[in-house]
C-alpha cells in the first residue's frame, strides 16, 4: 500500500521569517499522520528548518552529481544530508529548461542523491507544444527512461516520480483529470514491478480548490506543490485532501 506524499517546493522564496509559516505547516502535517509531508526550501533555510522542525521532512531542490570539487555555486548531495535534508527534488523543469539539464545529468544527480541516503523526487513533464502534438506520453516516458537509474528499480521506495506538465507550473492551468490519470497510468506501467511501490505525484497549479479531485485519482499518490505551499493555509488544505 503506497502512502500519500505531499511535497512543497518553495523555489527561490523564503527567509528566516518564513520559519513560522513552516511551523504552521508542520503542525498541520502532524494532524494527518497518514500523509508524508516535506518542504523543500532554498539551500539557506535547510539547516535552520530541519533543526527547528524535527517532525517535518526537509529537502533540497537540486544537488551536484559530484561529491566535492571545483563547482562554484553548487552543493553536493552529502552536504544537503549533513545540513539535515532527507530528500532532494531533481530534474525540475525550471532546472532542465533554465540550466540546460539533460536526462543524463539528472540521472547522475539521482545516483549521487541515493549514495548520500537522500530520498528523491524525480520530475518529468512535457512542454505545451509536445502535448498539442499528441506526443506527451512518449516524451515523458523517454525522460523517465533517461533520468531514472536502472538499478533503482530494485529499490523503488527511495524515489517518487513527479509528473509536472511544464505548461501547468505556476500558470493556474491543469490538464483534465482524464489526462492526468492517463499519464500516471502510463508512468506506472513503464515502471514495471517497481511501479507498485513507487509513489507518482502530480505537480502543476495544485491548490486548495483542485487538490481533492486530483488526489482522488487512482494512480495519483500525492502532489508536488509550488505556489500553494508557501502559505500554511493553502498547503494544509492540500495535505488534508491527500488523506
User: What residues are labeled active site?
Assistant: 92, 164
Given a contact cutoff of 8 angstroms between Cβ atoms, the answer to whether 41 and 58 are in contact is yes
Determine the residue with CB nearest ligand PEP.
226
Say which residues have a Cβ less than 8 Å from residue 178's Cβ, sequence separation at least 6.
Answer: none
Cell digits of residue 241: 485532501
Residue 76 is a binding residue for ligand PEP (CB under 6 A): no
User: From the CB of 27, what's the least distance to ligand PEP, in Å?
Assistant: 22
**Number of residues in contact with ligand PEP under rule CB under 6 A:** 13
Q: Decide: is 90 part of the binding site for ligand PEP (CB under 6 A).
A: no
Shortest distance (Å) from residue 151 CB to ligand PEP: 26
**Bridge partner residues of 87 (DSSP):** 59, 119
What is the CB neighbour count within 10 angstroms for residue 154? 8
Residue 65: HSE in the Cβ half-sphere, 13 Å Cα cutoff? 13
In residues, how long is the chain? 243
Grid coordinates representing 32? 494527518
Query: In this chain, which of 21, 101, 126, 164 binds ligand PEP, going by CB under 6 A?
Result: 164
> How crowded is residue 48: how many other Cβ atoms within 10 Å of its Cβ?
18
Which C-beta is closer to ligand PEP: that of 28 or that of 174?
A: 174
Contact (Cβ atoms closer than 8 angstroms) between residue 230 and residue 10: yes
Between residue 201 and residue 230, which ones bind ligand PEP under the rule CB under 6 A?
203-206, 224-228
CB of residue 136 vs ligand PEP: minimum separation in angstroms? 17
- CB nearer ligand PEP, residue 67 or residue 80: 80
Closest CB to ligand PEP among residues 52, 139: 139
Q: Which of residues 12-41 bind ligand PEP (CB under 6 A)?
A: none
Task: Compute the least distance from the CB of residue 100 to ligand PEP, in Å.
Answer: 18
Nearer to ligand PEP, 74 or 210 (CB): 210
Residue 7 CB, nearest approach to ligand PEP (Å): 8
**180-186, long-range: CB within 8 Å, 24+ apart, which pairs?**
180/214, 180/217, 180/220, 181/217, 181/218, 181/219, 181/220, 182/137, 183/136, 183/137, 183/140, 184/217, 184/218, 184/219, 184/220, 185/218, 185/219, 186/137, 186/140, 186/141
Residue whose CB is less far from ligand PEP, 153 or 240:
240
Q: Does 169 bind ligand PEP (CB under 6 A)?
A: yes
Which residues make up the interface to ligand PEP (CB under 6 A)?
A: 9, 164, 169-170, 203-206, 224-228
Amino acid at each position: 500500500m503506497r502512502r500519500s506524499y505531499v511535497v512543497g517546493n518553495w523555489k527561490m522564496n523564503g527567509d528566516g521569517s518564513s520559519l513560522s509559516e513552516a511551523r504552521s505547516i508542520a503542525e498541520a502535517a502532524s494532524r494527518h499522520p497518514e500523509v508524508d509531508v516535506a518542504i523543500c526550501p532554498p539551500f539557506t533555510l535547510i539547516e535552520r528548518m530541519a533543526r527547528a522542525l524535527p517532525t517535518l521532512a526537509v529537502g533540497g531542490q537540486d544537488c551536484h552529481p559530484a561529491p566535492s570539487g571545483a563547482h562554484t555555486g553548487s552543493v553536493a548531495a552529502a552536504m544537503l544530508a549533513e545540513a539535515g535534508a532527507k530528500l532532494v527534488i531533481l530534474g525540475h523543469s525550471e532546472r532542465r529548461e533554465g540550466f540546460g539539464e539533460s536526462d543524463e545529468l539528472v540521472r547522475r544527480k539521482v545516483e549521487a542523491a541515493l549514495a548520500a541516503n537522500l530520498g528523491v523526487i524525480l520530475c518529468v513533464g512535457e512542454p505545451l507544444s509536445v502535448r498539442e502534438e499528441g506526443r506527451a506520453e512518449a516524451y515523458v516516458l523517454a525522460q523517465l527512461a533517461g533520468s531514472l537509474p536502472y538499478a533503482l528499480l530494485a529499490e523503488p521506495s527511495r524515489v517518487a516520480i513527479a509528473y509536472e506538465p511544464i505548461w501547468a507550473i505556476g500558470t493556474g492551468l491543469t490538464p483534465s483529470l482524464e489526462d492526468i490519470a492517463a499519464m500516471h497510468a502510463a508512468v506506472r506501467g513503464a515502471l514495471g514491478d517497481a511501479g507498485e511501490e513507487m509513489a507518482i505525484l502530480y505537480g502543476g497549479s495544485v491548490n486548495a480548490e483542485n487538490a481533492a479531485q486530483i488526489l482522488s485519482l487512482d494512480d495519483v499518490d500525492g502532489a508536488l506543490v509550488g505556489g500553494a505551499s508557501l502559505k500554511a493555509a493553502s498547503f494544509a488544505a492540500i495535505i488534508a485532501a491527500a488523506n
